[in-house]
Structure 1
Amino acid sequence: MRTKRVLLAWEQGAGFGHTIQLARLGQRLMAAGAEVVAAVRYLQNAGPLTEAGIRTLQAPSWPAPAPRPGDVVPASATLTDSLARVGLRDSASVRAVLRAWRELFDAERPDLVVCDYAPLAGLAARGRARVMQASTAYCLPPADLEAMPLFHHFHPPAHTDAEVLASVNDAVDAEGLASIDRIGGLFGGDDAFVRSFPLIDPYADLRAGEAEGPVMEGVMREREDGARSIFAYLHADVAARPDVAAVLMALADRLEIHVPGVEADWLSALTGAGARVHRRAVPMADALARSRLLLHQGSAGVAADALAAGVPQFTLSVHVEHYLNGEALAAAGLSRNVPLFDPKARADVDAVRAWLEDDDALLIAAAAGRMHRAMLDEANPLDMLTGRCLDLL
């Protein structure tokens, strides 16, 4: 009997969060006897997968659609709008990606495709393999949604659900695939697993059940008594903003920082000012255990780590998913959020310092940490996701 094969697919989004979490799942599936291959959007982010011994391929790229006025909007108001801008509004682009996925599936012959923010991979896999949709909450709306919710009022949506649905269906019809009857059908499959805590699920009120929880590397420890460091985990383009750079310099004497992929000398001024600069990624459990505050962009994975560790957060959100996470944390008393895509917004060192010294924030974060660690102890999301993938196989 042929060994069962799993293909891990990642199409949209950026950063290492996608490949880190797929690698954790892939390792478990290989340990259970499956063969695992990954097709990823950015090969430069494939390190976690290759280090886990997973063969890695370039995923089909989405051709950029012809530009339209208003395309340069930093934070789309709906998920439909975001996906339209990067290709789904153009049926020819959609068809090209579907055809490329089908050719890849013909070559790899997967029995199961695990989709991490990979809607076209999921559509192309129907009838060829079982499909598990597994992603963070923002990237995985319920498959029965008739309309995507409006997330903010900074900018109005430029595309409608009907427009994108028609574009996608033109392409799937041309490829001989079954059409979808609602916008949520982009995220349909045989099963779905939401890799976020319910607290930061923007579709929580629209789901039939709760989000299952983040796929973590290990047990997150409680923040240490007397922890005083500020841990900053930022993308280079955010850390380089003049207002953010000024905040980092002002806090350098208490700062630990990691900026993935940055040149070695880029952070030399911070080192000279007394900051502890990490050239390589550090285990989040270790960094958060000694931190009084986490400064980051609001990514779901990092936010989940801090939630479980009981560490207050300060989010500098640069697009809508990060903004939604930051706002949800702020509403729970766990963070302060600055939407950097708003032209009027600026990072301010006084605001960070005030939050850093807020003792009530520490108490609230500690309580949230106990609650979220208990959730993970009761049902480990990585165990659950692995088991459900094996059930599909």
Structure 2
Amino acid sequence: MARILLGWELGAHRGHLVRLAAIARILIAQGHQVDAALQNMDGAAALFPEGVRLWQAPLWPRMIVNVTRLDGPPVATMGDILVRLGLDREEAFEGLIRAWDSLFIAISPQSVISDFAPAMLRAAWGRIPSIAVGTGFECVPGDLAAFPSLNRQPAAHDEAAILAQANAALARCSRPAMLGLPALFAADTPLPGTFRELDPYGAMRREPPVSPTLAGPAPPISDGQGEEVFVYGFERIMADAALWDGLAQSGLPVRVHVPGASAALQERFARLGFAFAPDPLPFEEIARCARLLVSHGGHGFTSAALLAGIPHIITPYDLEKQAHADHVVALRLGGQVPLMAIKPAPFAESLKRIHADDALVARARNAAPGFHAQMARPMDKAILAAISGR
């Protein structure tokens, strides 16, 4: 059996840990030895199975600050995001490659599995067989000449100049040059886990996606009898948003789950008349009670909403969530408004109108079987097949 290294570099949500921990359990059950180099160790010890050795992953230089407060122009491409995180610093990229080299020497993996870990993929390229997992947004096709715009706006940074800097760093690390910056995401086996309809690179991708990763079983299709507005969010971004006042002014029945919500935020929910769910609800229960969903547009929640056949209002605050919102709106299965642009009174009126839209509810339910049909290629089986060489 093989020693396999799991790596996670970018992205701030817990879903990366959950996905890699699930992969680790599958690999250990097959007799493999597993190491995991992680960006953030918070909660990792409880999630990963016994026997997995945990390592600190090399950190992109600007991950050390609050990424929601990074300065710079609005981003339009994955390249812009990487520059914002430090790819414009040639010496920093060289440091990332050399740090992964040190981990490779210490661990001696026969394969690596990347979850949004482009520096690890580039360090392993041509030396260690690699698998890339994640959402469609996180698994950029590595053969693109340049990163495409994901919001129809021009790139904020000169990608050719960044590519030249990155290639200079790679040369000092005895690595081959990249033909395009998307080669940072090149893997021997790319396994983007998403629905075709949510994939921001779907029109450019050669390999078929695997089924998206969910927090639990695929939910059943809603019977359309629920009446609640179910809201999923998180405090770091949403605590002071006008979203809550807009929800209250709608007069609709609202249930909220915000992981780790502070006592102050929970008191605010109570004053506004919301039902608060302190623990995550199974999506089956959400599907039974909800007529309308509101969230920031995370991939897992958005995928579950499509499977459940419930209309979804997305309040995006970054490029990835905006891409998901654009796709849901294009499918005519929900709506969107940027989180920071919400004004309570207009938002409340729109919410009431959408909640009363029987045609929208029926359209979401009718679309759900098509998403269930895409759950037939689970990521775990694809990973095991790739490792075994099948």
Name the residue aligned to 1:240.
Answer: 239
Deviation, 1:21, is: 1.9
- Partner Cα separation in structure 1 for residue 210 and residue 148 of structure 2: 21
> Paired residue for 1:22, among 20, 23, 30?
20
Tell me the residue number matched to 1:195. 193
Distance 1:350 1:162, change over 3 A: same
User: What residue is the counterpart of 2:378 in the other structure?
Assistant: 381
Is 25-34 or 321-330 further displaced after alignment? 25-34
Contact residue 288 and residue 309 of structure 1 kept, 8 A = yes
By how many angstroms is 1:311 displaced?
A: 1.1
Deviation of 1:368 after TM superposition, in Å, equals 1.5
Partner of 1:46: 44
**How big is each residue's C-alpha offset from its partner over 1:306-343, in whole Å with a ceiling of 9 and x where there is no partner?**
111111100000001100110110010111011236xx
Q: What does the per-residue CA deviation read over 1:103-149, in whole Å, with 9 as the maximum and x for residues that have no partner?
A: 11211222211111110011112344211011111121211100111
Give 2:329's aligned residue.
330
Give the drift of 1:71: 6.5
Q: Are residues 213 and 161 of structure 1, via their aligned partners in 2, closer, same or farther at CA, if it must alter by over 3 Å?
A: farther
Going from structure 1 to structure 2, the CA distance change for 1:90 and 1:282 (only over 3 Å counts) comes to same
Measure, in 1, the Cα distance between the counterparts of 2:360 and 2:87: 42
Aligned to 1:284: 283
Residue 297 of structure 1 aligns to which amino acid in structure 2? H
Separation in structure 2 between the aligned mates of residue 75 and residue 250 of structure 1, nearest angstrom: 32
> Distance between the aligned counterparts of 1:286 and 1:190, measured in 2?
39
SS in 2 for 1:64: helix
- Total equivalences in the alignment: 383
2:157 and 2:114 mapped to 1: Cα distance?
24
SS in 1 for 2:256: strand
Aligned to 1:120: 119
Could you tell me which runs of 5 or more consecutive residues in structure 1 were left unpaired when the two chains were aligned: none
Q: Cα distance, 1:209 vs. partner?
A: 3.8
8 Å CA contact retained: 2:113, 2:130: yes
- The alpha-carbon deviation at position 54 of structure 1 amounts to 4.3
TM (norm. structure 1) is 0.89
- Residue in 2 that maps onto 1:37: 35
Shift of 1:392: 4.7
Q: 1:252 to 1:13 in 2, by over 3 A?
A: farther
- Residue of structure 1 in register with 2:371 after alignment: 372
What is the CA distance between 1:25 and its match in structure 2? 2.0
- One-letter code aligned to 2:233: L
Please give the root-mean-square deviation of Cα atoms over the aligned residues, in Å: 2.5
CA distance in 1, matches of 2:353, 2:43: 36
Classify the secondary structure of the residue corresponding to 1:139: coil
**CA gap 1:38/1:308 in 2 versus in 1, 3 angstroms:** same
Q: Deviations over 1:223-243 (max 9, x none)?
A: 144112222111213322341
Question: Within 5 Å, which residues of 2 pair with 1:184-333?
Answer: 184-216=182-214, 217-250=216-249, 254-333=253-332
Shift in Å, 1:391: 2.5
Supply the distance in 1 between the matched residues of 2:76 and 2:166 (Cα, whole angstroms): 20
Matches within 5 A, 1:93-104: 93-104=92-103
Aligned counterparts of 2:268 and 2:79: Cα–Cα separation in 1: 41
CA contact (8 A) 1:289 1:309 kept: no
- 1:134, 1:384 → 2: CA distance? 12
Distance 1:62 1:310, change over 3 A: same
**Change in CA separation of 1:75 and 1:63 when aligned onto 2, cut-off 3 Å:** same
- Would the alpha carbon gap of residues 199 and 87 (structure 1) be closer, same or farther in structure 2, given more than 3 Å must change? same
Checking the alignment, whether the CA contact within 8 Å between 1:223 and 1:309 is kept in structure 2 is yes
**Selected match of 2:169 from 156, 168, 171:** 171
SS of corresponding position for 1:317: coil
Pair 353,385 (structure 1): closer, same or farther in 2 beyond 3 Å: farther
State the 1:8 CA deviation.
1.5
Q: What percent of counterpart residues are identical?
A: 28
SS at match of 1:36: strand
